């Protein structure tokens, strides 16, 4: 199995199915409430529940119909309702394989969830989270990203949306279908913008400050956040952002997206002039066709871009259409529209072990320093030996599997994160802060004695402060990725405190920790987040110099 590289990482984000199918925050039935809470919105009254000191509203509609004649278009206007609408269970996720303990996926999926300490006038910072799963799976109802502990312990309001995904969210029809379908290649992103607009209009009723909104997300949610950082329609509705293990530097070009549409029509035996027949194909059939195509479109880097005759079609994700998404998020530079919006960006130290777990890869743990160069040669050719030598010199105590994980993790998530930090710093506007998450889980990659360390997606439960002693005094359960050691509670507290302080002020801080310096091109400070947080200047200097010399970023 070859290592995963930056040009492929967004495709690999679609492999996060298993992690994102953790038990949801709702079984599809109303939970037991300490009491019910009724509040107003611009569209009607909603009834949520108060549980353990947090008001929770699930399944609030923020957009109208996106099925029928609204397929591949902006949603129909949300119709106001009379009386009180229950907001006690999550709404259906976007079309995908069924998700455990959630309603059946549905084409009409524009619902959001809110966690707040109180429906009052406190004007708390709002943390608007974009779920992961590439651009093809996931929802705002995963247990690991339950917002109750952030709301309770840090006095913030948390919002998460469901939005269109895959073919239904990102099929590019602009050149076939005319002005009614303008922006069709970015419907999933424009749904998120509608969610942000709903927050702007309604969050004051939930104790939040519409003038202090942070957008954040992990994995595919990080890439969505990178897109929002670039989109004119999103700009009025948020003030700061965090891109976590999902450095969306480049997105799909129009010509590649158009080729994907042509391929889809061919699969369905629909002539381009008859594209309207797509409106009559059952959503489940479109999902089946989607499964025949690559999960995610090729996100070509400038150093790996292929000539027009060698492009690869297939896959679905945001399209650089010049309007909804005017340009690549961070290529060739940081977006001017968000010049004055502070940014967090970073990655987990051992991203690759998640993908080893997902793909049942145990072979990497058997690598030796004699076999490692051959493992890397299919990707790096004659440079493989030099890469190994550089990493061994920089990490003298690392084993061959450790070196393989380090190379795979930094090329997948690290290089793009550093690229974003550097371009944001070069811009000279609002600050950018670079981090690495490094708490080490003792859990083993299944079938091996190799510890997971800090895998992709492990940060979700940590930053949501969901690695915590149970409030009822019972013994804590083993974390899905984070393991059993009680030290994880400290690392989770640090992560959550940093992110909520950033949401509140635009500057991440720890009450009992080091000052996190703004990233700059002289000292290049990185905060390593663990049970003890540490500022490291010019981290991975030798490794990054190597990748720059090889033209990888």
3-state secondary structure 239-282: CEEEEECCCCCCCEEHHHHHHHHHHHHHHCCCCHHHHHHHHHCC
Single pTM value for the model: 0.94
Residue 437 bridge partners (DSSP): 348, 529
Of the chain, the percentage scoring pLDDT greater than 70 comes to 91
Radius of gyration of the chain (CA): 22
Helix (H, G, I), strand (E, B) or coil at 190: helix
pLDDT of residue 65: 98
CB 43 within 8 A of CB 80: yes
User: Alpha-carbon torsion 540, 545, 551, 553, what sign?
Assistant: positive
DSSP 410: I
Residue range 488-512, pLDDT digits in tens: 999 999 999 999 999 999 999 999 9
State yes or no: pLDDT of 546 exceeds 80: yes
State yes or no: pLDDT of 29 exceeds 60: no
Q: Tokens for 481? A: 């990725």
Residue range 345-355, pLDDT digits in tens: 999 999 999 99
- 264: closest CA among 293, 294, 298? 293
Average pLDDT of the residues of the chain: 92
Q: Which fold has domain 7-341?
A: Rossmann fold (3.40.50)
Residue 244 bridge partners (DSSP): 218, 346
- The confidence band for 31, taking pLDDT boundaries of 50, 70 and 90, is low
Give catalytic residue positions: 219
State yes or no: pLDDT of 7 exceeds 60: no
pLDDT of residue 297: 54
Q: Tokens for 31? A: 């939970």
Residue in the block written with tokens 């119709």: 79
CB 111 within 8 A of CB 91: yes
Residue 47 bridge partners (DSSP): 38, 86
Rounded to whole angstroms, the Cα distance separating 156 from 275 reads: 46
CB 518 within 8 A of CB 431: yes
pLDDT of residue 133: 94
pLDDT of residue 293: 82
Class in CATH terms, 342-549:
alpha beta
Residue range 449-496, pLDDT digits in tens: 999 999 999 999 999 999 998 888 888 888 999 999 999 999 999 999
Residue range 109-156, pLDDT digits in tens: 999 999 999 999 999 999 999 999 999 999 999 889 999 999 999 999
pLDDT of residue 32: 65
State yes or no: pLDDT of 66 exceeds 60: yes
Residue 204 bridge partners (DSSP): none
pLDDT of residue 22: 43
* All structural domains of the chain with their residue ranges: 7-341, 342-549
Measured in residues, the chain has a length of 553
* Main-chain dihedrals φ then ψ at residue 107, nearest 5 degrees: -60, -40
Rounded to whole angstroms, the Cα distance separating 525 from 417 reads: 13
Residue 305's Cβ-count burial label (10 Å; 0-12, 13-18, 19+) is middle
Residue in the block written with tokens 């974009």: 130
Distance, CA of 103 to chain centre: 22
Rounded to whole angstroms, the Cα distance separating 303 from 286 reads: 34
Q: Are strands 319-320 and 252-253 parallel, antiparallel or unpaired?
A: parallel
Read off the pLDDT of each residue in 33-41 and give the average, rounded to a whole number.
93
State yes or no: pLDDT of 2 exceeds 70: no
- Does 7-341 match 342-549 in CATH topology? yes
Residue range 268-318, pLDDT digits in tens: 999 999 999 999 999 999 999 999 887 655 544 444 433 333 345 668 999
- 201: closest CA among 43, 37, 38, 82? 43
Residue 536 bridge partners (DSSP): 526
User: Quick one: angle between helices 372-380 and 384-394, nearest 10?
Assistant: 130
């Amino acid at each position: 199995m070859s290592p995963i590289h930056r040009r492929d990482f967004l495709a690999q984000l679609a492999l996060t199915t298993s992690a994102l199918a953790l038990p949801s925050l709702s079984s599809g039935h109303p939970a037991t409430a300490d009491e019910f809470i009724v509040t107003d919105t611009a569209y009607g009254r909603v009834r949520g529940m108060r549980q353990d000191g947090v008001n929770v509203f699930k399944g609030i509609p923020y957009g109208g119909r996106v099925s029928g004649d609204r397929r591949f278009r902006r949603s129909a206007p949300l119709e106001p309702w009379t009386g009180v609408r229950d907001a006690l269970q999550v709404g259906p996720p976007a079309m995908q394989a069924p998700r455990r303990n959630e309603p059946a996926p549905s084409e009409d999926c524009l619902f959001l969830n809110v966690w707040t300490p109180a429906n009052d006038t406190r004007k708390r910072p709002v943390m608007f989270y974009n779920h992961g799963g590439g651009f093809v799976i996931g929802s705002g109802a995963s247990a690991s990203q339950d917002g109750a502990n952030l709301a309770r312990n840090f006095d913030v309001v948390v919002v998460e949306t469901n939005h269109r995904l895959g073919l239904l969210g990102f099929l590019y029809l602009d050149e076939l279908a005319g002005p009614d379908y303008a922006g069709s290649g970015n419907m999933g992103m424009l749904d998120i913008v509608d969610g942000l607009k709903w927050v702007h209009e309604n969050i004051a009723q939930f104790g939040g400050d519409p003038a202090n909104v942070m957008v954040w997300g992990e994995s595919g949610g990080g890439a969505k956040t990178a897109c929002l950082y670039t989109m004119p329609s999103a700009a009025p509705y948020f003030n700061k952002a965090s891109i976590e293990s999902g450095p969306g530097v480049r997105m799909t070009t129009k010509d590649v997206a158009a080729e994907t549409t042509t391929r889809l029509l061919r699969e369905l035996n629909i002539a381009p002039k008859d594209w309207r027949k797509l409106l009559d194909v059952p959503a489940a059939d479109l999902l089946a066709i989607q499964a025949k195509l690559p999960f995610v479109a090729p996100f070509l880097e400038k150093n790996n871009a292929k000539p027009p005759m060698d492009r690869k079609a297939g896959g679905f994700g945001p399209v650089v259409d010049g309007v909804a998404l005017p340009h690549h998020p961070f290529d060739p530079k940081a977006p001017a529209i968000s010049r004055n919006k502070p940014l967090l960006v970073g990655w987990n130290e051992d991203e690759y072990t998640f993908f080893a777990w997902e793909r049942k890869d145990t072979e990497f743990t058997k690598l030796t320093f004699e076999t490692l160069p051959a493992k890397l040669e299919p990707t790096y050719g004659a440079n493989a030996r030099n890469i190994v030598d550089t990493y061994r010199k920089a990490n003298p105590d690392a084993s061959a599997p450790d070196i393989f994980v380090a190379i795979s993790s930094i090329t997948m998530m690290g290089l793009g994160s550093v690229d974003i930090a550097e371009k944001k710093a070069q811009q000279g506007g609002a600050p950018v802060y670079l981090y690495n998450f490094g708490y080490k889980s003792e859990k083993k990659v299944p079938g091996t004695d190799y510890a997971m360390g800090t895998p992709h997606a492990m940060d979700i439960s940590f930053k949501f402060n969901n690695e915590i002693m149970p409030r009822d005094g019972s013994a804590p359960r083993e974390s899905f990725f984070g393991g059993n050691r009680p030290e994880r509670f400290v690392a989770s507290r640090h992560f959550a405190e940093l992110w909520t302080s950033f949401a509140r002020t635009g500057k991440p801080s720890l009450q009992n920790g080091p000052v996190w310096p703004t990233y700059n091109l002289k000292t290049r400070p990185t905060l390593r987040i663990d049970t003890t947080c540490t500022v490291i200047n010019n981290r991975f200097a030798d490794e990054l110099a190597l990748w720059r010399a090889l033209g990888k970023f």
